[in-house]
Amino acid sequence: MRLKAVYQGRMSIVMRILPAVLLSAGAASAVPPLSVSLAGTTAAPAAAPAEAPPRAFFEALRAADLRLATIGYRLTSANAALCDRLQPQIGMPIHALNQYSAEARPNALSVFGFETRLGVEAVVADGPAARAGVRSGDSIQLLAGKRQPGIGAADTAESPADRDAAEALIAAQPPGAPIAMTVLRDGRAVTVSIPAVAGCRSRFEILLGSGLDASADGAVVQIGEKYFEGYSDAEIAVIVAHELAHNILRHRDRLDAAKISRGLMAELGRNGRLIRQTEDEADRLSVYLLANAGFDPRSAPQFWREKGGTIDGGLFRSRTHASSKARATALDAAVQDIARRPERPILPADVLALRTQPLR
C-alpha cells in the first residue's frame, strides 16, 4: 500500500463509517451508519452536527481493533530477529477517553468503563498482557512507574495525546523486560507485571474514514477501516505485513534522505521510480514476515490476484505501485524461496541489507 508522504499523526477525522458491518473473525456485527470524531490532527468539517454513536459502534470498534492488534502482535513478535529497532510488545491496545468527541463519550464510558482517562481496549489472547491477568476494560492508573491521568472533566478537549504518551512510554522500555502496571478494575487497584516480548518497533491503528488506505510512518502502521468489513484476518495480515515491512526497511527515512517529493509530484520521474522501489522492497519482505508469523505465505500472491484490482484501482492505479498481476508474480518467487527454507524465522539477508542503503 502507499507510503504516505506526510504522516499527520493519529486517527483524526470526522467520520461517516461502518455503513453496513464490521466483521470479527468471520462473524458479522451489524452497525448502523454513524458519525463520530476520533481526534488526532486535522479533521474535515462535518456536514452536519455529529450524533452520538450507538453502543454497537464501540463494540464493533473494539472487535476490529483486537483483530488488528492480534495480527500486529504476531507479526512483530515473530519477526524480532529481522528488526534492528525493537520495542516491548505486550498485546494490549490502549485508548483514552478524550480521544472521543464530547457527544461520543457517554457511550464510550458505558462500553469501555473508563475509571481513569486511559483504558485497556482489548487484550490479545495468549499475549503477554493476557498472561499477566490484564482484562479488557481495565483502566490504567500506573504504567512503568508513571501515574496516568485521572478521568478529568467530561468536556476535556479532544486529543490523542494521553494515549500517544502512554504508547511512547511503553516503546521506551527495554525490549523484553517486564512492564509494571496498576489498573483499576471496578474501583479496585490491581498491580500486574506484564512479561513483554521483544518485537519490531511498530504499533497499529485503524484509520477511520479512510476506506482501503494503509500507511506506515516508521513507527505506526495505519489500516483503513474497510478492511474490517469482509476481509479475512489472513487477507488483512497481507496488508499489515506490507506496511510493517516499510517500517523495518526504514522507507520513510530513506525517502526523506533522497529528498523525494510526494503528493502531486509522486508519480513523476525519480520520485515515482524511488517510491516504486520501496513498494517492491516492502512486497518482497512482507512474504517472509507472514511466513515467520505462521501465516501461509501463499496468501500474499493470492490476495493480489483476487483482491488487487479493488485495492490498487486497476487501470487507474498509481504508477508508484506495480500492477496486481506483477505483484503476485514477484511474490510467487518469494513463496518458492520460503518453501525451500525450513528454518523459522527466515532472515532474507539481501532484502534486510537494503534498509541501510540510500535510495538512488
pLDDT tens by residue, 277-300: 999 999 999 999 999 999 999 999
Position 16 pLDDT exceeds 90: no
| Helices (H), ranges, the chain | 55-78, 105-112, 128-131, 161-171, 233-248, 251-257, 269-292, 299-312, 324-339, 349-352
By three-state DSSP, how is residue 15 classified?
strand
Distance in angstroms (rounded) separating the CA atoms of residues 295 and 75? 9
Q: What value does the CA radius of gyration of the chain take, rounded to a whole number of Å?
A: 20
The pLDDT value given to residue 51: 75
Q: Cell numbers of 67, please? A: 483483530
Q: Which amino acid is at 256?
A: D
The pLDDT value given to residue 297: 98
Mean pLDDT of 188-193: 98
More confident residue, 316 or 349: 349
The pLDDT value given to residue 264: 65
Query: Residue 313 — pLDDT band, cuts 50, 70, 90?
Result: low
Mean pLDDT of 332-342: 97
Query: Per 3-state DSSP, what percentage of the chain is helix, strand, and coil (rounded to 5)?
Result: 40, 20, 40
pTM for the whole structure? 0.86
The pLDDT value given to residue 133: 98
The pLDDT value given to residue 265: 67
Mean pLDDT of 1-27: 29
By three-state DSSP, how is residue 81 classified?
helix
Distance in angstroms (rounded) separating the CA atoms of residues 153 and 222? 29
Q: Which amino acid is at 222?
A: Q
The pLDDT value given to residue 153: 73
Q: Which of 15-24, 42-51, 277-286, 309-318 has the highest mean pLDDT?
A: 277-286
Query: Residue 154 — pLDDT band, cuts 50, 70, 90?
Result: low
Position 103 pLDDT exceeds 50: yes
Considering only the C-alpha atoms of the chain, give the largest distance between any 2 of them, rounded to a whole number of Å.
61
Query: Residue 152 — pLDDT band, cuts 50, 70, 90?
Result: confident
Is residue 65 within 8 A of residue 22, CB to CB? The reply is no
Position 85 pLDDT exceeds 60: yes
Contacts of 338 (CB under 8 A, 6+ apart): 287, 288, 291, 297, 346
Query: Residue 49 — pLDDT band, cuts 50, 70, 90?
Result: low
Q: Which of 17-26, 204-213, 240-249, 311-320 has the highest mean pLDDT?
A: 240-249
Could you identify the residue written with the cell 494490549? Answer: 92
Residue 71 forms beta bridges with which residues?
none
Among 20-24, 61-65, 248-252, the minimum mean pLDDT is found in 20-24
Pairing assessment for the beta strands 220-224 and 203-207 based on DSSP bridges: parallel
